[in-house]
Amino acid sequence: MSTPETPVVRTERIGSALLITLDRPEARNAVNAAVAAQLAAALDELEADPALRAGVLTGEGGAFSAGMDLKAALRGESPEVEGRGFGGLTESEPAKPLIAAVEGFAMGGGFELALACDLIVAAEDARFGLPEVKRGLIAAGGGVIRLPKRVPHHLAMELLLTGEPVDGRRAGELGLANRVTGSGQAVAEALRLAERLAENAPLALATVKRVVRAADGAPDAEAFAFQREQMKTLMASADVREGMTAFAERRPARWTGR
């Protein structure tokens, strides 16, 4: 049985990206208290280092995550982190882009971790599902809330009410995955995508995320008011001046995140 001290989440810096790997392959990377705490710490590492521009979340051993560790839950362990939700992620609001690289199973809470990311890269044989209703539960880690915002209503309801999974190829057709790759290629493609994001201004990326979150479900007038306030801060930044100068001088921008 893992404890909060057992390494069950690994981090590796690859270029300007932080690769975050759930590392309980014997349990298909199911989320217990230790995984949740260590994933939250990995996200803190991503946020704290200005040299890191994006994160890639994946799982070890050919599976993304089987979701909540039911055996641990029966022992009284919580797979949540206070204020951050399931896995220390689903109710958090990281400023930096986060990409899910999904191989194998992303079931239940595993699917919800992927839905909490900004982008999803899926292997064609990955499996996405929210089977909670088969166990008398609902997908309360963000599945019921987020999935109907990602795909058409009736398709979301089919997945939520039947609990049946779809593969990576179908996830791409539904618009759930930004990229669909061959088996074993999801992490490499996600890292390439992270490097593309890193070419852009970090303050602008963070502002995009804040405005998208604030505008979700808000009346247009409120959303535009929030955006105006964000733009005031952004326009006063060194990154905006650098972006305009680099364009005028026909050279790559050198972002400082200030």
Catalytically active residues, by annotation: 112, 132
Instruction: Indicate left, alpha or beta for 124 from its phi (over 0: left) and psi (-120 to 50: alpha).
Output: alpha
Q: What are phi and psi of 204, to 5 degrees?
A: -65, -40
CA–centroid distance for 90 within its chain: 8
Residues written for the chain? 258
Q: CA separation (Å) from 242 to 18, 49, 84, 200?
A: 25, 21, 34, 11
Among the listed residues 151, 145, 142, the one whose alpha carbon sits nearest the alpha carbon of residue 111:
142
